[in-house]
């Protein structure tokens, strides 16, 4: 016994031969294709500029692309499982999507040869180098790496300061590191700004001593004598 929808589909047309069912069998059914083997993943699209470290920021993580795309605008197609990066419509990188935060997902083939050499700069080696500049620089390196959620993220800042030492003297880098520690600005950009603006050559201003305003409810030190 046909249900209501089947009866409707088999009802003959009034002004031409056949029915909805015969039209489906003759036209629609032969054009059908098998369903895909994989389930459909709803994707989201966004755009980002490739950072100087050939990574793009997405969903609180960093994903690498070929280093020759530094400063280029790329498109990011994300699904629940993957992150694909496209440049001018061509896919240039694909990564498994990380569910953590502050992680750097890097394909080593994306690194230029010069940056692959930087892999030899382990955290301990960076601190040893900083000790040759001075104790404040060593403390600054330790602080930078401790403040970052992923070691590679801290290494980028330390490598930047190492490059600054090629432009400025060791004495100025040490003085800039001291100022950065005193002001709590323990970042590469802060050290670079201190050196660029010659702030390392003037002593940091100390905050004025705090004084307690007079008030009837405040007894003062003499009350306890």
Measuring CA to CA, how many Å separate 158 from each of 58, 113, 141, 149, 169?
A: 23, 19, 6, 15, 16
Average of per-residue pLDDT values in the chain: 85
pTM (2 d.p.): 0.44
**Is-contact 40 11, C-beta < 8 A?**
no
CA dist 9 and 163 (Å) reads 76
Residue 36 pLDDT grade (very low, low, confident, very high; cuts 50, 70, 90): confident
| Strand stretches in the chain, DSSP E | 44-49, 55-58, 61-64, 73-78, 82-87, 90-96, 104-105
Helix axes 188-196, 170-183, angle to 10 degrees: 120
Dihedral sign (CA 216, 217, 219, 220): negative
CA dist 100 and 54 (Å) reads 20
Cβ-proximal residues to 178 (8 Å cutoff; 6+ apart), any chain? 136, 200
**Is-contact 85 75, C-beta < 8 A?**
yes
Pairing state of beta strands 73-78 and 44-49? antiparallel
pLDDT digits (tens, 9 = 90+) for 75-114: 999 999 999 999 999 999 999 999 888 898 999 888 877 6
Dihedral sign (CA 123, 125, 129, 135): positive
pLDDT digits (tens, 9 = 90+) for 161-197: 998 999 999 999 999 999 999 999 999 999 999 999 9
CA dist 172 and 177 (Å) reads 8
Higher pLDDT, 210 or 112: 112
Measuring CA to CA, how many Å separate 62 from each of 95, 104, 131?
A: 11, 5, 30
């Amino acid at each position: 016994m046909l249900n209501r929808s089947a009866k409707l589909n088999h009802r003959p047309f009034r002004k031409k031969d056949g029915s909805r069912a015969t039209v489906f069998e003759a036209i629609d059914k032969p054009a059908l294709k098998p369903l895909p083997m994989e389930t459909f993943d709803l994707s989201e699209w966004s755009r980002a500029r490739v950072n100087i470290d050939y990574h793009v920021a997405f969903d609180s993580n960093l994903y690498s692309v070929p280093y020759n795309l530094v400063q280029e605008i790329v498109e990011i197609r994300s699904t629940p499982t993957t992150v694909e990066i496209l440049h001018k419509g061509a896919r240039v990188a694909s990564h498994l999507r990380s569910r953590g935060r502050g992680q750097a997902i890097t394909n080593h083939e994306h690194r230029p040869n010069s940056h692959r050499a930087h892999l030899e700069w382990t955290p301990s080696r960076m601190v040893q180098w900083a000790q040759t500049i001075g104790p404040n620089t060593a403390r600054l390196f330790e602080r930078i790496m401790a403040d970052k959620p992923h070691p590679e993220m801290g290494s980028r800042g330390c490598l930047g300061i190492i490059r600054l030492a090629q432009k400025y003297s060791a004495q100025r880098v040490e003085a800039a590191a001291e100022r950065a520690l005193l002001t709590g600005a323990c970042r590469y950009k802060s050290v670079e700004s201190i050196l660029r603006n010659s702030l390392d050559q003037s002593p940091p201003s100390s905050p004025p001593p705090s004084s307690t305003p007079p008030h009837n409810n405040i007894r003062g030190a003499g009350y306890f004598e």
